[in-house]
Amino acid sequence: MGKPIKIVLAGEGGQGVQSVAEILAEAANEKGREALYIPNFGVEQRGGVSVAYLQIGDEKIGAPKFQTADIVIALSDRAVTRTRKYVGPETVFVYDSGIENIKDELPTNTNKIYAIPAIEVSKKELHPRVFNVIIMGAVLKATGVVAMDDAKKAIEKKLGYKFEKNPELREMNFKAMDRGAELVADLS
């Protein structure tokens, strides 16, 4: 029985981790695969660490949350601290290389740790707004849970109405995704 791939995405409210998880889940579902996505949510509307739990597999998914992830993506210092507990010996841990003062917080018992300059790339090469799409590209490259083209279709479905008005947005989003994948490819 193939086990689902388990992903934890965490960042500051507004960094868009929930959108990334939702689009990936929808892309997998569109391909007829099984996906389960659950956001964490509390009484706070903003200001907290936002965590998304995503599982993608070929059979119905079990419990919505899990103890150990296959891949953890942490996009802020607090997110690193918050998600350390989901790391096991097989976990790939990805964090943004722009996060400062977290050397002591990084998990030590992982399979691999990748630092990717997603924030920097989004600011310098693209636009801060597509930061989370860069992350999506990185997740796709690191896990292979969904094909790049299917993820692009899912983005098209979600944001198509905006792309119609401004085709440059589409180009920027797709470029961001490819760039995210490159950042991971460069490391492995």
Partner 1 sequence: MPEKPIQGEKRMFVTGNEVVAWAALAAGAEIMYGYPITPQNEIMHYWTRMIPKYGRRFLQTEDELSAGFTTVGGVLAGRRAFTATAGPGNTLMQEPISMAEAMRLPIVVVVQQRGGPSTATVIYSQQEVTLTTLGGNGEGLRVVYSTATHQELFDYTIKSFNTAWKYRFPTFVLGDGYQAKMRESLMFYDPAERGIEMVPTDAYVGRPGMPGVDRAPTHMRNTYNMEEELYDVLQGYLADFAKAAPEIAEHEAFDTEDADLVIISHGVVSRACKMAVRELREQGYKVGYFRPITLRPMPEKAMREMAGKAKQLLVVESAQGQLDRLVKEVIYGSTAEMLSLFKPGVGVTSEEVITRVKEIKG
Decide if residue 172 touches partner 1 (CB under 8 A).
Answer: no
CB of 32 to partner 1, least distance (A): 8
- Strands 71-74 and 5-12 turn out to be parallel
153 versus 175: smaller Cβ distance to partner 1: 153
Number of residues that bind partner 1 (CB under 8 A): 24
26 versus 96: smaller Cβ distance to partner 1: 26
Q: Which stretch binds partner 1 (CB under 8 A): 27-35, 99-107, 133-141, 167-175?
A: 27-35
Burial (0-12, 13-18, 19+ Cβ within 10 Å), 28: buried
Whole-number Å distance between alpha carbons of 131 and 142 = 17
Alpha-helical (H) ranges within 8-115 are 17-30, 77-83
Residue selected from 12, 13, 29, 153 as contacting partner 1 according to rule CB under 8 A:
29
Q: Which stretch binds partner 1 (CB under 8 A): 24-32, 91-99, 143-151, 160-168?
A: 24-32
Residue 117 tokens, joined:
């300059």
Q: Of 81, 25, 88, 87, which is closest to residue 52 (Cα–Cα)?
A: 25
C-beta neighbour count of 89 within 10 angstroms: 8
Site string for partner 1, 61-90 (x = CB under 8 A): xxxxxxxx----------------------
Note the residues at the interface with partner 1 (CB under 8 A).
1, 22, 25-26, 29, 34-43, 60-68
